[in-house]
Amino acid sequence: MTMQAIVDLVAICAKKGIRHAILSPGSRCAPLTLAFARNPEIQTRTISDERSAAFIALGMAQQLKQPVVLVCTSGSAALNYFPAVSEAFFQEIPLLILTADRPPEWIDQWDGQTIHQTKVYGKHVKESFDFPDSFEHQDQLWYAQRIVNEAINLSISGPKGPVHINIPLREPFYPKKGESFSASANLPIIQVREGKRSLDNEDLDDLKSKLNAFKKILIVPGQQNPDPTISEILQKLNKEQQMVVVADTISNHQIPGSVTLHDHWIGNESISKDLVPDLVISFGKSVISKSLKLFLRKNEVEHWHIQAHQGLRDPFQGLTEFLDCDAIFFLKWLSEQGLSSDKAFQEKWLGLEDKVNTSLFNLLDQEDFGEYPAFKKVLDHIPANSQIQVANSMAIRYLNFLGKRPQEIYCNRGTSGIDGSNSTAVGAAWVSDGLVTLITGDLAFFYDRNAFWNNYPSPNLRIILLNNHAGGIFRLIEGPSQQPELEEYFETGQTLDAFYLAKEQGFDYALARDSKELEANLQDFYQESSQPKILEIESESVKNAQILRRIKNRITEELL
């Protein structure tokens, strides 16, 4: 009866539209593995490293915008999912996590691969369910089927996110040789239909009366997937009503006329003193720019946040209006109000943007070889109609420093860790038709090298590896950069390169140590290939920090 419940679980997943599952090998999870592997509607892949497996699933779900299933055995295997689970939770990416477990009576009895798995992910999942551990009564099968429906529905309802089902399993785990199994007839499928979230006329009238008092309006889109409709509305607000749109690269809304180079001046009081808005309207999730957050906090700017589900978010410490509605609904309404914003205020922001845009790229072209100039050159070669997956630390900051991009941009900014960037990019590449470029630093790359330990091709993956043989960001942070322990305990220098990894995996590999080699290797980097390609850019951590500081100081001098 247990095997029947597991087969039904998988059949419900298929009937509710789930098409991908990432399995990790183990004995306790054998019933789940067999049920998924034998279901013709779900494509299964097996990944031995559970931490990598979870980030791969995250990358797939990020692109599909639908749940991807994760299956692992009992014990520490489930704990290895945790980094990706927390990332999915804060990025609002749907995952269905199925952890096989030992029967409850064996917990704390020194039985192998037995830990406390009930609610093991705590507050980092939307919900955690316990599957029945026996099916002696028909109601238990009904209960199990209901749990699966509810878990999938929760994962895709606002906000999307990971949901966990812990599944205690008893022996025997394997069907007899030649034994087949099929799903129960008339499985219950429970659909949830969510309507668009809007505000009533009374609320809108009240908001309109308040808006009349604001003349310096800043719109800040946080991290989100591209949406052409939103981008079109933002352009209208920017052009017709002179509202300032300040957009990090991960917002995917860097529209014509938006401000994207703000990190070059926003922290300087002499430059940004006349840029204080009287209202900030935000939507989406996190922003990269720490300087922007500190600027808005310090000036105690009134803040309205649009979010179509509960959970107050107040990153600028000035939240006064929580708008529980869809972003498209409110922004469209806002664009129809005919507001007259302060044109001089907008021109100040855009004037700084234009000055930095002119000087930054001239300075980079004149600089010595290093990560920053090399990053700019790489971006010039990435096809516009493709996708960039970027690692945390300096990689995402360089990308943000360089302003507008035509590509779709994705980064694990839910928890902002370096631990799963490779795997997320691999998962995205598996379900994407176009090219996927991973831009990463050396520590993030080597930390997650098991992302490539699998038997599945990803010929559309391109990897730009910025290898300065250290955690170079710590040279740019005032605290650690001034400590004698910097190199050993913060930068944690290493001597690795990607040559042997590429050879093991059968990837194309190229190395660039100067501008000439970089330009030569980029010429055919995006040509069609039967395997991924790695372009390793080697530089010096000390020199990279000097280049970044030099450019920042020169831009500041020009703006003052």
How far is 16 from 430, CA to CA, in rounded Å?
21
Q: What is the DSSP string of 15-76?
A: HTT--EEEE---STTHHHHHHHHT-TTSEEEE-S-HHHHHHHHHHHHHHHSS-EEEEE-STH
Query: Is it the case that residue 488 has pLDDT exceeding 70?
Result: no
Query: Is it the case that residue 506 has pLDDT exceeding 90?
Result: yes
How many other CB atoms are found less than 10 A from the CB of residue 84? 33
Query: Is it the case that residue 472 has pLDDT exceeding 70?
Result: no
Q: What predicted TM-score, i.e. pTM, was given to this entire model?
A: 0.94
Query: Is it the case that residue 309 has pLDDT exceeding 90?
Result: no
The CATH class that applies to domain 2-168 reads alpha beta
Coil, helix or strand at residue 303: strand
* Fold (topology level) of 367-559: Rossmann fold (3.40.50)
| Average pLDDT of span 534-554 | 93
Runs of H (alpha helix) within 367-412 = 371-381, 394-401
Query: Is it the case that residue 322 has pLDDT exceeding 90?
Result: yes
Q: What tens digit of pLDDT does each residue of 82-138 get? A: 999 999 999 999 999 999 998 888 888 888 888 899 999 999 999 999 999 888 888
Query: Is it the case that residue 491 has pLDDT exceeding 70?
Result: no
pLDDT class for 176, splitting at 50, 70, 90? confident
The pLDDT value given to residue 174 = 75
Query: Is it the case that residue 152 has pLDDT exceeding 80?
Result: yes
Give the CA-trace dihedral at 452, 457, 461, 463, to 10 degrees.
30
Query: Is it the case that residue 490 has pLDDT exceeding 90?
Result: no
Query: Is it the case that residue 480 has pLDDT exceeding 90?
Result: no
Locate the domains of the chain by residue range.
2-168, 201-351, 367-559
Counting residues of the chain whose pLDDT is more than 70, the rounded percentage is: 97
Order of all β-strands in the sheet with 319-323 = 244-245, 217-221, 279-283, 303-306, 319-323
| Average pLDDT of span 75-88 | 96
Q: Across all residues in the chain, what is the average pLDDT?
A: 93
Q: What tens digit of pLDDT does each residue of 193-225 get? A: 888 889 999 999 999 999 999 999 999 999 999
* Within this chain, domains 2-168 and 201-351 share the same CATH topology: yes
Query: Is it the case that residue 184 has pLDDT exceeding 90?
Result: no
More confident residue, 281 or 105: 281
Query: Is it the case that residue 6 has pLDDT exceeding 70?
Result: yes
pLDDT class for 421, splitting at 50, 70, 90? very high
How many other CB atoms are found less than 10 A from the CB of residue 36? 25
Query: Is it the case that residue 398 has pLDDT exceeding 90?
Result: yes
pLDDT class for 483, splitting at 50, 70, 90? confident
pLDDT class for 1, splitting at 50, 70, 90? low
How far is 380 from 437, CA to CA, in rounded Å?
13
The pLDDT value given to residue 555 = 94
Query: Is it the case that residue 470 has pLDDT exceeding 90?
Result: no
How many helices (H) and strands (E) the chain has is answered by 20, 17
How far is 485 from 483, CA to CA, in rounded Å?
5
Coil, helix or strand at residue 535: strand
User: What are the distances in angstroms from CA 207 to CA 94, 166, 222, 347, 425?
Assistant: 33, 45, 22, 26, 42
The pLDDT value given to residue 196 = 82
Q: What tens digit of pLDDT does each residue of 372-385 get? A: 999 999 999 999 99
Q: What tens digit of pLDDT does each residue of 342-357 get? A: 999 999 999 999 999 9
Give the list of residues 6+ apart from residue 264 with CB closer than 8 angstroms, or none.
Answer: 356, 360, 401, 552, 555, 556, 559
Q: Which of 6-10, 101-105, 549-553 has the lowest mean pLDDT?
A: 101-105
Q: What CATH number labels 201-351?
A: 3.40.50.1220
How far is 231 from 44, CA to CA, in rounded Å?
36
